[in-house]
Amino acid sequence: MPQRKRALAILKIARMGHPLLMRVADPIEDPTSPDVQRLAADMVDTMRDAPGIGLAAPQVHMPKRMVIYYVPEGRDEEGAGHPLTTLINPEITVLDPALESGAEGCLSLPGMIGAVARPQHIGVKALDLKGNPLEYEATGYHARVIQHEYDHLDGILYPMRMTDLSSLGYVQEMTGHDD
Ligand code: NI
């Protein structure tokens, strides 16, 4: 019997200034619970609809320590093609503290980008949606995406990491087009 298709659920995305984006999110006690499975599926729908490459639960008004992300194919970046991944209660270890600056955007600051300096080599530990441990290393752009999403769990938005706000602006004004 074919599985009944779940209806798409597009959640509202909180924008900068919403108090839920400014607080430390709570650990998830049971990654396998139906509520968590549902939230993860809804976050995937929401991220794809936006569209974006990463989303943290606090951005959809759920103060829980879960993020989803992927790294698109074809990007000339380390980690390109990394599949859609869910990290529950993630922990990050910096494996090389040397910082590199790169452009970041965020669905909670629609239309804007800014340059953020971050470590380019990290270790990641988390649980997946089956409650199994995940452990891997990430470098370059992949490491940047994970750190950006992780920051949302601690109430940090990328402008709070910027040292030179002159690079913060609207994509459309900076490039003359919208992507
Ligand atoms: Ni973000």
Q: What's the CA gap between 50 and 93, in Å, rounded?
A: 29
| pLDDT (0 to 100) of residue 138 | 96
Share of the chain above pLDDT 70, in %: 95
Q: Are 40 and 68 in contact (CB under 8 A)?
A: yes
Ligand 1 centre and the CA of 4: distance in Å? 32
**pLDDT score at 43:** 98
Parts of the chain with a pLDDT under 70: 1-4, 75-76, 177-179
pLDDT tens-place string over residues 65-96: 999 999 998 766 778 889 999 999 999 999 99
Q: Are 47 and 10 contacting, i.e. CB atoms less than 8 angstroms apart? A: no
Name the nearest CA neighbour of 147 among 123, 169, 163, 128: 123
pLDDT in tens, 117-134: 999 999 999 999 999 999
Query: What residues act catalytically?
Result: 149
Report pLDDT for 7: 83
pLDDT at 25: 98
Q: What is residue 3's predicted lDDT score, i.e. its pLDDT? A: 63
Ligand 1 centre from 112 Cα, in Å? Answer: 11
Cα(158) to centroid(ligand 1), Å: 7
pLDDT of residue 50: 96
What residues have a C-beta under 5 A from ligand 1, the ion?
106
Residue in 134, 141, 136, 103 with CA at minimum distance from that of residue 120:
141
pTM for the full predicted model: 0.93
Decide: 110 and 157 in contact? Cβ < 8 Å: no
Q: Output the CA 2–ligand 1 centroid distance in Å.
A: 36
